Amino acid sequence: MIREDEFLMLLNSAPVIDGVVTETLTDVGLRRLREDLRRVILEEAEPSVLAPYLTGFSKRPSIDAEGVHWTLTGPADRMPLAEIVLEWSRVTTEMPGRLRPCGNPECNKFLIDHSKPNTARWCSMASCGNRMKARRFQARHSGASL
């Protein structure tokens, strides 16, 4: 199964570094899925663009002492892509409004906000959070010293 942090890692696998989008993936299928997911999250595309990634997959139930388990079955070569789409679906249905783009306009990363007030704005406080704070501080104080 794909975990939430792996899903987010995929979404953020082409970061802007020094103003240039920097590709870190070699797998063409993963790249295409990442771009489709990004467009869906940014509401530039309908979620139905993700449907082809699920073609040929189904979930099969099994049961034991702990209860019912559902196992994804389908083409093995496309299994990772299908699992990523399922993880996107889980994140957006279980945590509506929590998956969103970073508040830094020069950053193209996404974040999943787990904070109680749902007010997180940056993909990372260490990079974008501090950079944006410094920029606002500079904007406020430049001019005053002239």
Give the amino acid at 137.
F
Distance of CA 116 to the CA centre of its chain: 19
How far, in Å, are 7, 10, 27, 142 from residue 13 at the CA level? Answer: 10, 5, 11, 35
**Is residue 142 exposed (0-12), middle (13-18) or buried (19+ Cβ within 10 Å)?**
exposed
Site for Zn ion contains 132 (CB under 5 A): no
Site for Zn ion contains 102 (CB under 5 A): yes
Site for Zn ion contains 107 (CB under 5 A): yes
Residue from 24, 8, 12 nearest 87 by CA:
8
According to CB under 5 A, which one of 109, 126, 129, 134 is a site residue for Zn ion? 109
Site for Zn ion contains 111 (CB under 5 A): no
Q: Name the one range near Zn ion by CB under 5 A: 29-37, 49-57, 86-94, 118-126.
A: 118-126
Task: Supply angle C-alpha 53, 55, 3, rounded to 5.
Answer: 45
Site for Zn ion contains 104 (CB under 5 A): yes
Site for Zn ion contains 14 (CB under 5 A): no
Site for Zn ion contains 8 (CB under 5 A): no
* Minimum CB distance to Zn ion, residue 131 (Å): 8
Q: Which residues bind Zn ion (CB under 5 A)?
A: 102, 104, 107, 109, 123, 128
